[in-house]
Chain A
Amino acid sequence: MRRAFRSRLRILAGLLALFALFLVVRLYFVQLIHGSDYALKAQHQYESASRELYDRGTIYFSRKDGTLISAASLATGFTVAIDPKHLTDPEKAYAAISAQIPIDKAAFDAMAAKKEDPYEAIEHHVSEEAGAALAALHIPGVMVDRERWRTYPGGAAAAQSIGFVGYDSENKITGRYGLERKFEDTLSRESQGLFGNFFAELFSNLDSVIADAGRAHKGDLVTTIDPMVEDKLDQVLKATNDHYQSAETGAIIMDAATGEIIALDTYPSFDPNDLSHGSLEHFGNPLVEKRYEFGSIMKALTMTTGIDSGAVSPNTTYNDTGCITVNTKKICNYDLKARGVVPMQQVLSQSLNVGASFVATKVGHDRFSEYIQKLGFGDATGIDLPNEIRGDIKNFLASHREVELDTVSFGQGISVTPVEMIRALSALSNHGTTVSPHIVKAVHLENGITKQMPVISGMQVYKPESVDAVSKMLVEVVDKKLANGTLKIPEITVAAKTGTAQVAAPGGGYYDTLYFHSFFGYVPAYNPRYILLLYTRYPQGVQYASETLTAPFFELVHFLINYYSIPPDRAKPAAPAS
């Protein structure tokens, strides 16, 4: 009996001990691990969720030496607010606050008068110095709380591609445009509390500490964009757009072999740090979200198609009559003039529509449309930017009339996005194989691993010798035709072609006075490092792309040669230094 009593006593004591242990552990969690949480919730239950310290991955630009420079990062500072109920001396508080940050006295008085409101934000994004100085004064009723926010150090540089964050329908800050939106899953983080600590995480969520699934895919983005080239491009685009009062001017500079885009932008754009001065119509990215008829730069592809298919050779000649009638439609050279019997070189040098039509007709609709599709026209490039649309080549593919074929041969009748166009042109700058344009090259994951982004392999469209033949013709365009050959670089070959397209009117036909100018080229011509595509929409007071885009193109080419130390390809190298 006594023994049984003792056993029961031991069991009871053991249960009590277990219960006590449970209470101790529970108390530990409530008091210490989640204590700050509860305190903060109690203290700021009337404040918005944004008071938690905002966190998000960084987006980097890459310099040529591999140095990473933030394109989108986080800034830290303070929010200054008042609790009118506890504001014992509003005048003193105003004097102290206004000494650090400019505030309107009337607005402050109005906020201070709201005695029933426990929280009135005076100013967000207050600097570290001003906030710390204000906090040190310990003014009753004045709250100085830490705050973090998204900032874009480069301002408008590639803003349409980087994008920005904003509030979504659930009042959460998420990526709204550009990479910020495309890589929302990678960049987004749970907001941080300063009370978060290793032990708290360890005890409260052991699984997530040991194997946090988020850490396997959350990280920072490393883009291929070089900030130096991007800035130069932005300056050139702005100057061109301002000079010709265009509706829009854009460009892409891409590594010819890899498809890495080192600079891209359009003007007008916006500063993501100051969206109040931005326009909604400029938030999107025309380089992937708009289609254009590019005009005569298409002739370079038409000529390569002609040579590659065996329909023509560089020595082929034709009789240029200035205008031809095809399916009752008249197709003419830009100046309506006949050239007589001319070789293929003149089709590119003088940008002859009749000559391009001749080549396309020789190739034939079926073979030509095969090339068009292999070049990727009508297919999205899969570039790592949101909202990419596909080119519109439906009419061309559906119609087997010769007039549509001829029209496409000189870049009218099909509309494609700029990024789609540079992918097609990359077949010329990459020995016949297209590349996949892309902006993000790696993700630095939170777990320390760097994940290289996979790149879609390109399509072999042309034989290398066909491309070499056309590159030679395009070099001659630069050396002898553009600005009468004055822009020729004696030591380095540059291949280029201009394009002037009429703009389609809504009811059919084309506007008489609106033009879309384009310009593409690659350097050095026979072993290209970079390919450039420029365009300007509706320039005023000029008709041809050779007038608007030649100078900007060569300014960028000279910049790239200097910046990347591109060696001469048609001059003897200097003797080694002794």
Chain B
Amino acid sequence: MPDKTISILGAATITLGGLYLLLVGMTVYFVSTETRTTTAMHVLESKITVLEKDYYASISTINAEKPEAYGLVAPRAITYVAAPLRPTLSSAQN
């Protein structure tokens, strides 16, 4: 019986040790993966922010545009019309 107990305890220790090493490996793997992903995501977000700054600069330029600056003559009158109705797409064959 004592032999069996020692065997069980030994097996449990080896299993726990193996499990520990497995967890170590998995943790290291996930840490490195997450670190890389997080860094990449932050850098990407930052790049998007730069693009958004460009977007704001663009709309500001568009809004400030004066056609007269290009030698264009301002219209004497502006007429608004309703946007024409777009034909509905149909899957009918004929």
Contact = CB atoms under 8 A, between A and B. Distances in A.
Contacts of A232: 63
A181 B39 CA distance: 28
A21 B17 CA distance: 9
Nearest to B61: A231
Contacts of A148: 42
Classify the interface of chain A: helix, strand, loop or mixed.
Answer: mixed
* Central interface residue in B1, B24, B31, by most chain A CB within 10 Å: B31
- Interface bin, chain A: 35 or more
A490 B82 contact: no
B68 to A, nearest CB: 15
27 contacts: A9-B2, A17-B9, A24-B16, A32-B23, A36-B31, A69-B52, A73-B48, A73-B49, A128-B46, A146-B39, A148-B42, A197-B34, A231-B59, A492-B80, A558-B78, A561-B80, A565-B83, A567-B82, A567-B83, A568-B82, A571-B82, A574-B81, A574-B84, A575-B84, A576-B87, A577-B84, A577-B85
Contact of B56 (A155, A490, A565): A155
A158 to B, nearest CB: 11
Contacts of B87: 576-577
A28 B84 contact: no
A104 B4 CA distance: 75
Interface residues of B, number: 45
B33 to A, nearest CB: 9
Contact of B13 (A6, A20, A198, A571): A20
Interface string A42-77: 000000000001000000000000000110011111
Contacts of B79: 490-491
A231 B80 contact: no
B64 interface: yes
Interface string B28-58: 1011001100110011011011001101100
Contacts of B52: 69-70, 73, 153-154
A199 interface: yes
Contacts of A21: 16
Given A17-B12, A76-B45, A148-B42, A576 B84 contact: yes
B5 interface: yes
A577 B87 CA distance: 7
A69 B87 CA distance: 32
Interface of A: 6, 9-10, 13-14, 17, 20-21, 24, 28, 32-33, 36, 53, 69-70, 73-77, 128, 146, 148, 151, 153-155, 157, 192, 194-200, 227-228, 231-232, 235, 489-492, 558, 561, 565, 567-568, 571, 573-577
A73 B83 contact: no
Contact of B9 (A13, A153, A574): A13
A77 B42 CA distance: 9
Given A199-B26, A568-B80, A574-B83, 20 more contacts: A6-B1, A32-B23, A32-B27, A32-B28, A36-B31, A70-B52, A74-B49, A75-B46, A76-B42, A128-B46, A146-B42, A155-B56, A192-B38, A198-B30, A227-B55, A228-B63, A231-B56, A489-B80, A492-B80, A573-B81
A491 B28 CA distance: 69
B44 to A, nearest CB: 9
Nearest to B77: A490
B46 A197 contact: no
A229 to B, nearest CB: 9
B46 A154 contact: no
Contacts of B46: 74-77, 128
Closest 9 CB pairs of A and B: A573-B82, A153-B52, A76-B42, A76-B46, A577-B84, A576-B85, A491-B80, A567-B82, A153-B53
A148 B49 CA distance: 12
A194 B39 contact: yes
Nearest to A36: B31
B60 interface: yes
B30 A197 contact: yes
* Central interface residue in B2, B23, B48, B82, by most chain A CB within 10 Å: B82
Given A73-B45, A155-B56, A24 B20 contact: yes
B31 A195 contact: yes
